[in-house]
Amino acid sequence: MKKISIFSISIILLVILIYVFARPRPDIISVNLVSETNEITYSDSESVQIFEDAIRTVKKVRGSVDVGPPNYQMTVTYADSKVVEYSLYMDFKTKNGFLIKQSNSEKMLDLKDHNSEELADLLSKGNKE
């Protein structure tokens, strides 16, 4: 009887893990950035992939934050018509950045170094054009 219980719990946990890691994630179809001086929309697959990777791999920072105005207000539109808004903070000298989700404005989402560098490079190109 004990073996059946352990087996059942193991199967349930396995199904949950498969669901969490294998569930389809909605694709981003566009990212709109608005700064004090510029507005740009990214919808090409290469740029969208950079944003998608950056958002998917953020590290949540413990505690609350109180920061100044962001470099950009970012609106992310998903294929399932869901829209999520973020404040994007980017230091273009160090290529470090973080996001704050509008729906949870006290939590900072730190961008991983590699993603932050790619995003800073992409935004630098967009500002020159």
Give me the residue spans of the domains in the chain: 26-128
Query: What's the confidence (pLDDT) of residue 105?
Result: 77
Buried b (16+ CB within 10 A) or exposed e, 94-121: ebebbbbbeeeeeebbbbeeebbebbbe
Taking only the tens place, the pLDDT of each residue in 93-124 is 999 999 999 888 778 999 999 999 999 999 98
For residue 128, pLDDT beyond 60: no
Taking only the tens place, the pLDDT of each residue in 15-47 is 887 877 776 667 899 999 999 998 999 999 999
- Residue with the larger pLDDT of the pair 6 and 42: 42
**Architecture per CATH, 26-128:** Sandwich (2.60)
